[in-house]
Amino acid sequence: MGLDPGLRRLALGTLLAAYPGPVPPDWAVDLLADGLAGHTLFGTNVHDPAQVAASTAALRAGRSDALIAIDEEGGDVTRLAHATGSPYPGNAALGAIGDVALTRRVYQSIGAELAALGITVNLAPTVDVNTADDNPVIGTRSFGADPVRVAAHSAAAVTGLQAAGVAACAKHFPGHGATVTDSHHELPTVDAAPSLLRQRDLPPFAAVVAAGARAVMTAHIRVPALTGADPATFSRAVLVDLLRTEYGFTGTVITDALEMKGAAVAAGGVGPAAVRALSAGADLLCIGAKVDAELVERVAAEVVDALADGRLATARVEEAAGRAADLAAWTRAAGRSPAIEDTELGYAAARRAIRVDGLLTGLDQPLVVQLHTESTIAEGRVPWGLGPHLDGVPEIRVLATETDPATLRGLAGDRPIVLVGRHLHRLPGGPELIADLAAQHPVTVVEMGWPAQWRPAGVRAFVTTYGASHANGRAAAEALGLAR
């Protein structure tokens, strides 16, 4: 027997799916007509603005109020500019600048671009307080390590996005900034007392709730004092008692992708994860990036089965679908400011974020070396570095662990060396390579990752960009006097 049509439609109303390729397949549109809440766009869905606008129009042919979401954080996480890098600096750069009005303007510009393309929900900003220098998944996506500063910029980002008519989704509740593992690959643990969370991790979420954020995203992290052995995504104590009751959030709770191992493994699959998230108080379930019609139907069937066997109450699923529908209604009714996309604003902001320790002198025709760093799943494979911005100076790329310092010194000859990297303090072989080179050669370091306290001895200058976006790369090249 097939699913009861009414229950299937109810279950679909809690799901945020995805599809492959630049053109929405028929099943993606048909599911929207059947009640699917919406789709998330990823880099594989984006070729150029005209194509994205055509895709969102095709999706709305399925249902006019479909939610169309995207992770467009600026900085290191971009979908629209995945082929080139974002024209905006990310949160770490904005936090370093410290101009809350600028943060609002940058996010309003991002929102204007999304709105023009028919995208209604931005799965941003990241409002985690990055207190762990070795955090592998947040880092430059955070406004910083100070809860007060992060809270102020988080509220500004939400206000900017929503002024452009795009719903903001602040993430990742109750705070992913103290983790040293990636929830895409495993279930991280934040072993902190609730009192510490309220002091360190939760102020930005209080700020975005006060700013009227339409959505908040859950974190696939374990906080034993609150969640026991489960991730926060499956914790009623986190999603209801803390977020809704204590902090007064009335909007839509969206899960991080349920295909991530931090959720799927803990629950025994995406379908069971969907049931557990709904039971805990989540409203809109992000299935993930690798989605097809069969997976959507399987998750919907799991929800319907849970309604039948008592794992889920009908009233809870109706509440969740209602909140997803309320979010869609807000996106249709939201007034938009007259602001338009202003990418030059992003380049100007990136220049303001540059910090230089030492002297940038004697850099005529240097050997520019990019130390390869693996991208996280959140970032994806987005170009970074100084290469696109250099005027007649080539950039070579090497693996720190496989590079002989003598070889680089030989290539440089009498020229200085500029080493460019991300998170150099924890890059395998990176600190050792820099130390060896700096002991015998003039070296300038450009750090495009999280600005840890580490500084290599003996280098002539240490340049911090607070991110690796296209805008950050241009700002660094200009600061070095090497830009076109």
Q: Beta strands of 262-416 (E only): which ranges?
A: 285-286, 355-358, 367-371, 395-398
| Contacting residues for 114 by C-beta, under 8 A, at least 6 apart | 70, 72, 80, 120, 122, 164, 166
Residues 188, 193, 195, CA angle at the centre, nearest 5°? 130
Comparing C-alpha atoms, which of 312, 248, 415 is closest to residue 300?
312
Q: Is the peptide bond before 174 cis (omega within 30 degrees of 0)?
A: yes
According to DSSP, residue 177 is labeled T
Across-strand partners of 417? Answer: 367, 443
Q: End-to-end distance of the chain based on CA atoms, in angstroms?
A: 66
Task: Decide the pairing of beta strands 461-464 and 355-358.
Answer: antiparallel
| Contacting residues for 42 by C-beta, under 8 A, at least 6 apart | 18, 70, 71, 79, 289, 380
230 is catalytic: no
Query: How far apart, in whole angstroms, are the C-alpha atoms of residue 162 and residue 37?
Result: 20
Query: How far apart, in whole angstroms, are the C-alpha atoms of residue 463 and residue 446?
Result: 5
| Contacting residues for 48 by C-beta, under 8 A, at least 6 apart | none
Residues 160, 183, 123, CA angle at the centre, nearest 5°? 20
Query: How far apart, in whole angstroms, are the C-alpha atoms of residue 320 and residue 316?
Result: 6
Inter-CA distances, 79 with 28, 75, 356, Å: 19, 11, 30
| Contacting residues for 109 by C-beta, under 8 A, at least 6 apart | 88, 160, 164, 339, 340, 341, 342, 343, 345, 346
Task: Output the DSSP codes for 239-272.
Answer: IIIIIIIIT---SEEEPSPTTSHHHHHHHTSHHH
Catalytic residue (choose from 256, 283, 342, 436)? 256
**Taking the CB of residue 82, how many other CB atoms lie within 10 A of it?**
18
If phi > 0 it is left, if psi is from -120 to 50 it is alpha, else beta; for residue 146 that is beta
What residues are labeled active site?
Answer: 256
